[in-house]
Amino acid sequence: MTRYLATAILAAAFLFTPAAHAASSPIEVMLLDGESGGPYHAWQVTTPILKKELEATGLFAVTVVTAPPSGADFSSFKPDFSHYKVVVSNYDAPDWPANLRTQFEDYMRNGGGLVIVHAADNAFPNWPEFNEMAGIGGWRKRTESAGPSWYYKDGKIVPDTSPGPAGSHGARLPFLVTTRVTDHPITKGLPAAWMHAPDELYATLKGPGKNMTVLATAHSDPANHGTDKDEPTLLVLQFGKGRVFHTTMGHDPAALSCVGFITTLQRGTEWAATGKVTQKVPVTFPTAETVSYRVDIFEMDPALKNGPAAKVPPAPTARPIQTQQK
């Protein structure tokens, strides 16, 4: 009896150990924001969502660091990168002062972590080291000079050196994400294919693609302004000793509410910080036929405060009734 009780208590203690450990030594995360390419990327709305999703794991202590707007005085902006195991970028600015760029390059070369979410891969078109960290990027006047676009063909990622602007997407529709590497810590245990909630399917992103492993792709549908190619959606790469996780998904609250997005963000952030993933895949993970999204996240879109605005049809124009005269 006594031995049985002792075993039970030991088992209970063991069960609670991981949570207690996580609470006592959280992974320090810098969530970087402060600018986007336009109001369609509402970082003031999406940063609290990313913060909530990361903190829900119990693994991370998230500090939001907001950079000054482009062209403003950066002299008092001195983020202490070395304090953080990983920088999650929800930030799309055209340029940074040279000393800040150097500090961030050093942080990454020395083993830092970087997570690039969606339009954060639009940032810094003329900063070669950042483009190497991202692997691929789009817009902000990038062209084939940024590197080829990359797509999945016959079991591997291949470059396409065709000239033209970098970055395109169709209307925001649900799309199927196909896992291409199943033994990476981020994708281990995920379904072979799963439906992502309505989002922009990024295509024709261009970049050096150096040391890049594409973990998942999505087919860009020509019926929705697509390339008819399997475009990278989740990728990882090495920069010096640093680890980068890049998700091209996550345009707005609807996209960010997808359980597939959330799970890969949480796992990708842990991997970029530590090189390991300790999180399980939730039972609510989407399937190949079914979208799965978190209502509490979806409702963080302020546009939904009073429900979507109703479109009032125009009043019918009064017309005299025509009667046939003979």
Number of residues that bind Zn ion (CB under 5 A): 2
Residue pair 28/84 in contact (Cβ under 8 Å)? The answer is yes
Q: How far is CA 296 from CA 51, 84, 173, 287, 301, in A?
A: 13, 28, 20, 20, 10
Is residue 40 exposed (0-12), middle (13-18) or buried (19+ Cβ within 10 Å)?
exposed
Region near Zn ion per CB under 5 A, out of 31-39, 193-201, 271-279, 298-306: 193-201
Q: Given the complex with Zn ion, which of 243 and 251 has the nearer CB atom? A: 251
Q: What is the DSSP string of 128-170?
A: HHHHHHHS-B--TT--GGG--EEEEETTEEEEE---S-S-B--
Q: Given the complex with Zn ion, which of 90 and 179 has the nearer CB atom? A: 90
Region near Zn ion per CB under 5 A, out of 121-129, 130-138, 198-206, 222-230: 198-206
Q: Given the complex with Zn ion, which of 132 and 200 has the nearer CB atom? A: 200
Q: List, in sequence order, every residue forming a beta bridge with 165; answer none if it has no partner.
A: none
Q: Given the complex with Zn ion, which of 181 and 300 has the nearer CB atom? A: 300
Identify the CA nearest to 172 among candidates 207, 202, 204. 202
Q: Given the complex with Zn ion, which of 121 and 200 has the nearer CB atom? A: 200
Is residue 324 exposed (0-12), middle (13-18) or buried (19+ Cβ within 10 Å)?
exposed
Hey, how many other C-beta atoms are within 10 angstroms of the C-beta on 128? 13
Q: Show the binding pattern over residues 112-151: x = contacts Zn ion (CB under 5 A), - = does not.
A: ----------------------------------------
Residue pair 206/147 in contact (Cβ under 8 Å)? The answer is yes
Q: Given the complex with Zn ion, which of 168 and 279 has the nearer CB atom? A: 168
Q: Given the complex with Zn ion, which of 200 and 270 has the nearer CB atom? A: 200
d(CA 266, CA 307): 29
Beta carbon of residue 273, minimum distance to Zn ion (angstroms, whole number): 25
Region near Zn ion per CB under 5 A, out of 51-59, 229-237, 243-251, 287-295: 243-251
d(CA 58, CA 72): 36
Query: What is the SS3 assignment for 311?
Result: coil
Beta carbon of residue 119, minimum distance to Zn ion (angstroms, whole number): 5
Helices (H) and strands (E) in the chain, counts: 7, 11
The identity of residue 95, as a single letter, is D
Chain position whose Cβ is nearest to Zn ion: 251
Region near Zn ion per CB under 5 A, out of 81-89, 200-208, 265-273, 290-298: 200-208
Identify the CA nearest to 68 among candidates 79, 58, 57. 79
219: contact with Zn ion by CB under 5 A: no
Region near Zn ion per CB under 5 A, out of 89-97, 137-145, 251-259, 310-318: 251-259
200: contact with Zn ion by CB under 5 A: yes
Among 140, 206, 243, 251, binds Zn ion (CB under 5 A): 251
Residue pair 29/84 in contact (Cβ under 8 Å)? The answer is yes
Q: Given the complex with Zn ion, which of 104 and 293 has the nearer CB atom? A: 293
Region near Zn ion per CB under 5 A, out of 233-241, 247-255, 278-286, 303-311: 247-255
Footprint of Zn ion (CB under 5 A): 200, 251
